[in-house]
Structure 1
């Protein structure tokens, strides 16, 4: 029986693929607007649906009603066409494979994603580095869903309950991410959170945002497992 839900952020937590992402955005922008992309908005842990409107604004585009679905569809196509370049131009974050494998051995765990990336792109990113084997992509929360990232926590919990028959809440759900936005989303959405200082947020910023545990990176798999186990034990959490 599944009794622990672990939701991973993707970019700068598990992988980093800036070149393919930038090129895919540029092509999708050109397809939708007919203009070249000049300024790419920083992700900052936000869902793709938020980033796209920021991109439009930074490039002086007043979006029409159908721009978001058209852009996300074009982004999926342009990213997929570059899937064979992901591993060559990107990198797997330190310890990512070992951490996923170690957490998978924890009793009752199911792992999925809570990511700003659209689902198809997230699958390509993990598959390119062989990180997809321990992830149930069907129960995650993704960037094409027009909800704040905090709401995606609850979306993922609901999907996991429907699939596995277990009610997932703050006591048995952990988000693992590298940004203060990930931490804040987890706290608001109803999950414990492990901050990983492998992205643009420093360890002190992750702690200040409310992370339950902060790790420098994922290179010590036993620390990751210990953190997940401790945060998904209701008795231990109340005692602490």
Structure 2
């Protein structure tokens, strides 16, 4: 297994913003005893960062005990709403087909590099049948208080331990939709396929340094070609 493909989840594979906000509101009230007035921006950011900033912008000085309490509450709130994901959310066009197409590549491991906490990441993909080809054990998640670039390296290390291969920038591809995803790939050591299905424009993704920019996931063959080209040199050697 000598290719590692890491997927961002929100606005790359799925859009479940309504359920996510509802879960945050419930978790916020449970932890603080107050209603959520403002949720911090989420694009390309881990839940740990969103939690601390959300507390701050709602006038609550963040403390060490807040993060584990909020993560537990967020996991419970999301689990209670998992049956609403298909009704209030959607898999983005081509997501299922793209995951299946990438799974057909020789020697590929697919996992996630996401700002979402692990329990909720599983719910998000499982709700739409997108979990079949994903090894969640080697991913990087939002409860881990690291920058996303560091999480990428953590995921590479987990994959190495599990599959016995030293994944690096020549054998790792990150697929995501935000400028922050591109920055994580550049710093953390991965090729970057940006998908302009989120809030970042194609020009912004290119300027940030994406190796390939696709409009969406509606052409799985183009995605597979890009992955093959970006990882082909090391495999050929």
TM-score under structure 1 length normalisation: 0.97
TM-superposed deviation, 1:234 = 2.4
TM-superposed deviation, 1:78 = 0.4
Q: Which residue of 2 aligns with 1:85?
A: 84
Say whether the 8 Å CA contact 1:198–1:217 is kept in structure 2: yes
Q: Which residue of 1 aligns with 2:100?
A: 101
| Structure 1 ranges of 4+ moved more than 4 A | 235-238
Q: In structure 2, the residue corresponding to 1:29 is in which secondary structure?
A: helix
TM-superposed deviation, 1:236 = 9.1
The answer on 1:22 being equivalent to 2:3 is no
Say whether the 8 Å CA contact 2:170–2:234 is kept in structure 1: no
Say whether the 8 Å CA contact 1:230–1:236 is kept in structure 2: no
Deviations 1:109-167 (A, max 9, x none): 01000000000000000000000000000000000001000000100000000000000
Rate the CA distance shift 1:165–1:237 in 2: closer, same or farther, 3 A.
closer
TM-superposed deviation, 1:64 = 2.2
Q: Distance in 2 between the 1:103 and 1:219 partners?
A: 13
41-50 or 167-176, which moves further after superposition?
Answer: 41-50
Q: Distance in 1 between the 2:82 and 2:216 partners?
A: 26
Say whether the 8 Å CA contact 1:157–1:169 is kept in structure 2: yes
Q: Distance in 2 between the 1:60 and 1:94 partners?
A: 39
Q: In structure 1, the residue corresponding to 2:226 is in which secondary structure?
A: helix
Unaligned runs of 5+ in 1: none
Q: Distance in 1 between the 2:53 and 2:207 partners?
A: 26
The answer on 1:209 being equivalent to 2:192 is no
Rate the CA distance shift 1:71–1:151 in 2: closer, same or farther, 3 A.
same
Root-mean-square deviation over aligned CA pairs? 1.3
Deviations 1:181-235 (A, max 9, x none): 0000011000000000000001000000000000000000000100111111225
TM-score under structure 2 length normalisation: 0.98
Q: In structure 1, the residue corresponding to 2:109 is in which secondary structure?
A: strand
Say whether the 8 Å CA contact 1:231–1:237 is kept in structure 2: no
- Superposition pairs of residues 5-154 of structure 1, within 5 angstroms: 5-154=4-153
Rate the CA distance shift 1:23–1:107 in 2: closer, same or farther, 3 A.
same
